[in-house]
Amino acid sequence: MSTSVVDEPSANEETSPLLFAFTSLPDPLTLSCLARVSRFDHLALSLVSKRYRSLVISPELYKTRSLLGRTDECHYVCLSTKTYPTSRWFILRRENTKTYLENAAAEDLVPVLSFPTQLPELSSFVALDWGIYVIGGLTNDNRTSDVLLLDCRTNTWRHAPSMGVARASAAAGVVGGKIYVFGGCESLDCSNWAEVFDPKTQTWDVLVPMPDRNEGDNLIRETLVMDEKVYAVSLWDGSFYYSPREGKWGRKKKPETQSYYCVIENVLYSCDKFGSLVWRDSEELEWKEVKGLKALRLKFPSSASFRSIANEKCVSKLSSFGVNIVVSSVRATFDVWWDVWCTEISLERREEEGEIWGTIESEAVTVVDHVPSGRVPVEVLCSATVYV
């Protein structure tokens, strides 16, 4: 990278000696300074000059931030609505903590560049390091083997190597820096039914066959990673998993009755669409309530009254944000517009009582559209954390 040129200030721009001295630094020193600035301020920095803009989006800045241990946890949210030609992506602005219902603002979810076209329906999403992979899905009602990658360092898109077989609604999870994908194929007997992607070599490999798979295993409702195993919650018949460490498959016959799942510090959390958050350890079968979240539940309607009450929310996604949980919910307000809310909850485990308590730390909201709510089906496609 060259070290040179100082940008010419505009005619009406006053340049202080301190600013001039800073902009005169060679690129490596400037990168070292910029790496210490929160990523949420990079947009403002990119407006200072063309040189700053090129530095802010450069891979060298990410490398410098990584070496200095200054990468940030950034939470991305992807929305789909029929009134927009593309899927819409946002970053949760974490600095706005303690922002509650009465003063949450649309700026709490910061929009970022979307993919030029609508993402395939029924795609699977996984976050790995600084990127989010969009795997398979339906394009013109046909399954696809395409894999798209959102590079969150620069918020740009590119194609990753395609899978060996087309999939939709497949299980996808990350263990040991590799992406494991299975199910969602046209044929249950497909030889590539389960695959693994290594980002370092940019190659897909076939996994050992699952010995007792059945038709229900091809229809995946939910995916989670726990105990270094990738679990798939079947649409019909319990759950099954693949263990990369052991190189073998396993099955749990007990059906999973909850709607949404995520794993934090090896504890499994779940939430129904009406805001009740529960948890259990990996080897347990009984769900326990997360205490202290009455305020969260009060914001959601009962199942009997949801259709008739305006200004209420319905959970659409549950995901981890570091050691916290983000509950993403969709709200129809007075039958006029749709909002999407992201509620961040911190967790405290009280070993003596055998309980976990939750505290609402922040809430962020974006207005999706101002049209009659019944005409705008809104879905949270992805809610994931990356490190940039």
The reply to whether 96 and 35 lie within a common domain is no
Mean predicted confidence (pLDDT) in 250-255: 79
Residues in CB range of 334: below 8 A, 6 or more apart: 310, 311
Which has more pLDDT, 107 or 27?
A: 27
Host domain of residue 37:
17-67
Q: Which two tokens stand for residue 118?
A: 């609508």
Is the confidence at residue 97, as pLDDT, over 70? no
**Helix/strand/coil percent split, the chain, to 5:** 15, 40, 45
Residue 22: per-residue pLDDT: 60
pLDDT tens digits, 366-385: 877 655 555 557 889 999 99
Instruction: Report the alpha-carbon distance of residue 305 to residue 313 in Å, rounded.
Output: 12
Which has more pLDDT, 269 or 117?
A: 269
CATH code for the domain of 58:
1.20.1280
Number of helical (H) and strand (E) elements in the chain, helices listed first:
6, 26
Answer whether 329's CB lies under 8 Å from 264's CB. Answer: no
Is the confidence at residue 58, as pLDDT, over 60? yes
Is the confidence at residue 15, as pLDDT, over 70? no
Q: Indicate whether 1 belongs to any domain.
A: no
pLDDT tens digits, 230-245: 999 887 768 899 999 9
Least confident of 155-164, 200-209, 326-335: 326-335
Q: What are the contacts of 54-60 at 24+ separation with CB within 8 A? A: 55/27, 55/30, 55/31, 57/153, 57/154, 58/1, 58/31, 59/153, 59/154, 60/1, 60/27, 60/31
The reply to whether 180 and 58 lie within a common domain is no
Instruction: Report the alpha-carbon distance of residue 53 to residue 372 in Å, rounded.
Output: 40
The reply to whether 50 and 25 lie within a common domain is yes
Q: Indicate whether 129 belongs to any domain.
A: yes
The reply to whether 38 and 99 lie within a common domain is no
Is the confidence at residue 124, as pLDDT, over 90? yes
Mean pLDDT of the chain: 81
Q: Indicate whether 2 belongs to any domain.
A: no
Q: Indicate whether 209 belongs to any domain.
A: yes
Tally of domains in the chain: 2
Which has more pLDDT, 124 or 28?
A: 124
Q: Which two tokens stand for residue 84?
A: 């927009």
Least confident of 58-62, 189-193, 212-216: 58-62
Residue 107: per-residue pLDDT: 45
Is the confidence at residue 98, as pLDDT, over 60? no
The reply to whether 271 and 370 lie within a common domain is yes
* pTM (predicted TM-score): 0.83
Q: Which two tokens stand for residue 135?
A: 């795997």
